[in-house]
Structure 1
Amino acid sequence: MPAPTRRTFLALGALAGLQSLCGCTDDHSAKPPRPQAEDPDRPLRLRQLAATDALLAQYDAALTAPGADPGKLGDLRADVAQHREALARTLPSAAPSSSTSSASSPSSSSPTAADLAAAEQRTAALRLADLAAASPDLARTLASVAASGAAHAAALGGATAAAAPSPSPSAAFPSASAPAVPATDTAALQAALAAEHAAVYGYGVVGAFLPAGPQREDARATYAAHQARRDAWQRVLAAGGASPTAAAPGYRLPFPVKDAATATQLAAHLETQLTASYADLAAAPTYRDQAAAALRDCTLRAAHWGADLPALPGLSAEQ
């Protein structure tokens, strides 16, 4: 047998390298790839999707009722459909549950506006019930969807249709004895405080251009509510050892305010801007309940002042 030449060794070396690159090996002991971990939010998402499908079915039944307002109900239903899409984002194969078809079948009576308002309120409460167990991303979505549901209930004549809703102290105003703010939550809390500083300034302008009457009283009550929330966040940050963000010496208005009409537009703008800050704060575990309550209040106030709210208040199209 002839001795191997240098060219033979080079050829064998090249072949071994090619086998390595191609994964061509005789070693059959390689472990199969690990399956991807299941989404920890999956049970929550599935429960929320089932509730959303039931709500969609009620809208479908209401839309078939004689005298139904297809424009208004259709717009609200379109929002709920977007809620479903956002909740199913990590579950691309999640089809509508069977509750949709069964609940939308003809019945002896179709849901009234009051029925839909009550259904929206119940569904919003379910969103909030899952906040604590949700991941930051899902918590942000749940808080936004719950706020939208509250606005829907108000638009349908539900009990949440207050002109300038005042938050409940237990949910909205943390006490100074609350736990120290984790470093990971401080940035979101400081951003919410900065937004409240701007809102307090802005409502001073709003009130100056509104004539005496219900609108000015609404603006005055809302001004006081934002002052209270601003002061609460300052106390929380200071108690946790952080230096609260100070108000700016002045703020540039997004557009000139010269009469009552532009003043109400400014109020709507201020509340809409605040929804983004509180949606972000809802992702932080420490103050989710307070952030969700604030997001709800800002959403209701924005609607009251005439804002054209998106289906997911406080979230961008990408979120």
Structure 2
Amino acid sequence: MQPPSRRTFLALGLLTALTACTADPRGDRPAGPTPPPDLDTPARLRAIAGTDRLLGAYDNLLTVPGAQTALLQPLRDDTARHRAVLVQGLPTASPSATSTPVRSLPTLPELALLERQTAESHLSGLGEVSPPLARLLAAVSASNALHAAALGDRTPVRTPDGGSSTATTEAAAVPALQTALSAEHAAVYGYGVVGAHLPDDPQRTDARTTHAAHQARRDAWQRLLTAFRAAPTPAAGGYQLPFPVTSPAEAARLAVHLETRLTTAYADLVTTLPAPYRPAAATALRESALHAQRWGAPATAFPGIPD
């Protein structure tokens, strides 16, 4: 048998190199395109870890004799619901339900601070996760902000930048953005009715402040739509109220209706806006949820997301 020539060795070496480049590491089929990185699972695990810290703090406080159970237990129940839904999206075996032990017994102000910090942490990297998870995290963050307010923390939640991902196109975001703008047009009109039926007291002052905030947000969405090369939906000449408003109680009920409608619009907007703009929608969701709470809306664990 003739020994292999140098040309044969070179050919064999080239074949081996080509095989190494194209074969699957397991050797059973050609390798396909590299799958995109899974950013949802790490984000869910971070959110679950933050939720577990809150559960530990609530559990510690609830063991204290004379604890404000009527205040703390519903907030703790909301937090447990957050965890249950966050765990559902994990692709592998879910972490068992637990609460992270807290080294020292927290006070109510410390618990409120932890709720606010958790609200902020849920929004970190909001522009990097999938739209459904972004919507969920925005709603859970809004709920944490509501908890912080219920516990006495009035410090505004800081919203981080949204990043630079553009997985969602501007054109796809326009319908939801128009819906949010229409809801703001209605809110601006509705708060005029609300303020007209309130006595000249702090409630009317609050209505005026909120009215101005909705005008500012309406203007911001109009500018964004123009930047997206879409004509903003104009305000109607008038809006039909969902029920007659003739008293302060009915005025407060109308404010709840307006803000609750807005939370739904903004939860939807989080899923459709390009990633850099998601925090703006999450902020609007949180602010509407806080306004609704101040006007007497019933508590919900996931503002903007129907049960």
TM-score (norm 1): 0.77
Q: Could you say which residue in structure 2 is the equivalent of 1:118?
A: 113
AA paired with 2:47?
A: Q
Q: CA deviation at 1:129?
A: 0.7
Q: Could you say which residue in structure 1 is the equivalent of 2:262?
A: 274
> 2-side partners of 1:138 and 1:169: how far apart?
17
Count of residue pairs the alignment pairs up: 268
> 2-side partners of 1:300 and 1:103: how far apart?
29
Please tell me the root mean square deviation across aligned C-alpha atoms, in Å.
2.7
CA-to-partner distance for each residue in 1:129-159, whole Å, 9 max, x for gaps? 1312111000001111111111100000013
Mapping 1:290-301, distance limit 5 Å? 290-301=280-291
8 Å CA contact 2:39, 2:128 repeated in 1: no
> 1-side partners of 2:101 and 2:261: how far apart?
37
> 1-side partners of 2:276 and 2:238: how far apart?
31
Residue in structure 2 matching 1:103, options 76, 83, 101: 101
Label 1:60 to 1:170 Cα distance change in 2 as closer, same or farther (>3 A): closer
Q: Could you say which residue in structure 2 is the equivalent of 1:210?
A: 198
Mapping 1:17-28, distance limit 5 Å? none
Identity %: 53
Q: Could you say which residue in structure 1 is the equivalent of 2:150?
A: 155
Label 1:312 to 1:168 Cα distance change in 2 as closer, same or farther (>3 A): closer
Q: CA deviation at 1:72?
A: 1.4
Q: Could you say which residue in structure 2 is the equivalent of 1:10?
A: none
AA paired with 2:93?
A: S
AA paired with 2:49?
A: A
CA-to-partner distance for each residue in 1:16-68, whole Å, 9 max, x for gaps? xxxxxxxxxxxxxx97xx9x998541111111111111111111111111221
> 1-side partners of 2:236 and 2:288: how far apart?
22
Q: Gaps (5+ residues) in structure 2?
A: 1-27, 162-168
> 2-side partners of 1:305 and 1:316: how far apart?
19
Mapping 1:53-64, distance limit 5 Å? 53-64=52-63
Label 1:50 to 1:96 Cα distance change in 2 as closer, same or farther (>3 A): farther
AA paired with 1:297?
A: E
* 3-state SS of paired residue (1:129): coil
Are residue 141 (structure 1) and residue 141 (structure 2) matched? no
Residue in structure 1 matching 2:243, options 240, 252, 255: 255
* 3-state SS of paired residue (1:139): helix
Q: CA deviation at 1:95?
A: 2.5
Q: Could you say which residue in structure 2 is the equivalent of 1:307?
A: 297
Label 1:168 to 1:121 Cα distance change in 2 as closer, same or farther (>3 A): closer
Label 1:141 to 1:243 Cα distance change in 2 as closer, same or farther (>3 A): same
Label 1:58 to 1:169 Cα distance change in 2 as closer, same or farther (>3 A): closer
Q: Could you say which residue in structure 2 is the equivalent of 1:196?
A: 184
> 1-side partners of 2:260 and 2:246: how far apart?
20
* 3-state SS of paired residue (1:282): helix
AA paired with 1:103?
A: P
Q: CA deviation at 1:110?
A: 2.3
> 2-side partners of 1:145 and 1:153: how far apart?
12
TM-score (norm 2): 0.80
AA paired with 1:184?
A: A
> 1-side partners of 2:212 and 2:159: how far apart?
14
8 Å CA contact 1:207, 1:216 repeated in 2: yes
Q: Could you say which residue in structure 2 is the equivalent of 1:47?
A: 46
Q: Gaps (5+ residues) in structure 1?
A: 1-29, 172-180
* 3-state SS of paired residue (2:117): helix
> 1-side partners of 2:224 and 2:82: how far apart?
32
Are residue 132 (structure 1) and residue 127 (structure 2) matched? yes
8 Å CA contact 1:49, 1:88 repeated in 2: yes
Are residue 287 (structure 1) and residue 272 (structure 2) matched? no
Q: Could you say which residue in structure 1 is the equivalent of 2:94?
A: 94
> 2-side partners of 1:291 and 1:86: how far apart?
21
8 Å CA contact 1:185, 1:286 repeated in 2: no
